Every structure is written in C-alpha cells, then in structure tokens.
Amino acid sequence: MQFLQNVISLDLENRNKMKRLILFISIIFCSISLFAQQKEKTDVVTETYMVSGNCGECKSRIEKAAYVKGVKRADWNKETKKLTVTYKSSKTSGDEILKSIADAGYDSEKVTASDDAYAKLPACCNYRTGTCGD
Ligand SMILES: [Cu+2]
C-alpha cells in the first residue's frame, strides 16, 4: 500500500514536472516567434520620394530600377511624381534605391541622374525639358 502511494505520488510529481517543462518550452517558443515578428516589423519601412518622370514608360523604368535587393514594393505615380517604396532597412536604403533610379536616368529629390543616363531616355521621356502628353 505504501509502495503504491509512493508510485502514485512520484507519478504525480513527474506529471507536474512535465507540465512545467511544457509550459516553459512554450513560453520560450512564444517569445522567440514574437521577437522574430517584432524584428521583421521594425525592419520593414515605407517611404515616399519625389522622382521626376513623364509617362507610363517612365513609370515602368523607375519602378524596375527601384526594385533593388530588399525592396518589397515600389509604386510611382505619374501625376503626383511620388514614388512609394517598401523595403527592408537591413538590406537597402532610400539613398541606394534613388541611386539606382538615377542610374536609369531619373532625377529624384536626393539624387540627380548623370547627363549620360538621362540622354539614354527616349525623347518622350525627357522630363527635364517637357512632357510627352501621354
Ligand atoms: Cu516616359
């Protein structure tokens, strides 16, 4: 009888230990995933920059150039001339994105395209001298 009681109490103790262990492990997992999520969130930023351009062709060139490594979304509006980019700040920066856009021939509020890069644009897209009416 005493022996049986010992076994039962031991089993109970083990079960409690097991419960505590499971609780402990789940708390650790929860905090890890929460931490990872937070890191992910703070890492992703959305910014808006003024980028010159004329038409739909400019739009596709600007957006294509904006998609450097780490950029999740790039959208340029030809009416407002605003480029909205969402990117991972650990992978790239606004300056880097605007530099890539300048390499494609487009001026922005921070980076001016070289005359060489600008000269490669089709006449309709020469935003420095006019609009193409598209
Ligand atoms: Cu254009």
Q: Is the confidence at residue 134, as pLDDT, over 60?
A: no
Inside any domain, residue 19 = no
Inside any domain, residue 85 = yes
| Inter-residue contact 51 to 94 (CB < 8 Å) | no
Q: Is the confidence at residue 108, as pLDDT, over 60?
A: yes
Inside any domain, residue 24 = no
Inside any domain, residue 131 = no
Q: Map residue 71 onto helix, strand or coil.
A: strand
Inside any domain, residue 13 = no
pLDDT band at 115 (very low <50, low <70, confident <90, very high): very high
Q: Is the confidence at residue 79, as pLDDT, over 60?
A: yes
For 4-133, where are the E strands, in sequence order? Answer: 44-50, 71-77, 82-88
CA of 85 to the centre of ligand 1 (A): 20
CA of 43 to the centre of ligand 1 (A): 33
How far is Cα 25 from Cα 87, in angstroms, rounded to an integer? 33
CA of 72 to the centre of ligand 1 (A): 23
Inside any domain, residue 27 = no
Instruction: Look over the chain and give the mean of its residue pLDDT values, rounded to a whole number.
Output: 88
Look up the domain containing 101 and give its range.
45-125
Inside any domain, residue 40 = no
Q: How many structural domains are present in the chain?
A: 1
pLDDT in tens, 37-72: 766 667 999 999 999 999 999 999 999 999 999 999
Inside any domain, residue 101 = yes
* CATH number of the domain enclosing 121: 3.30.70.100
CA of 58 to the centre of ligand 1 (A): 4
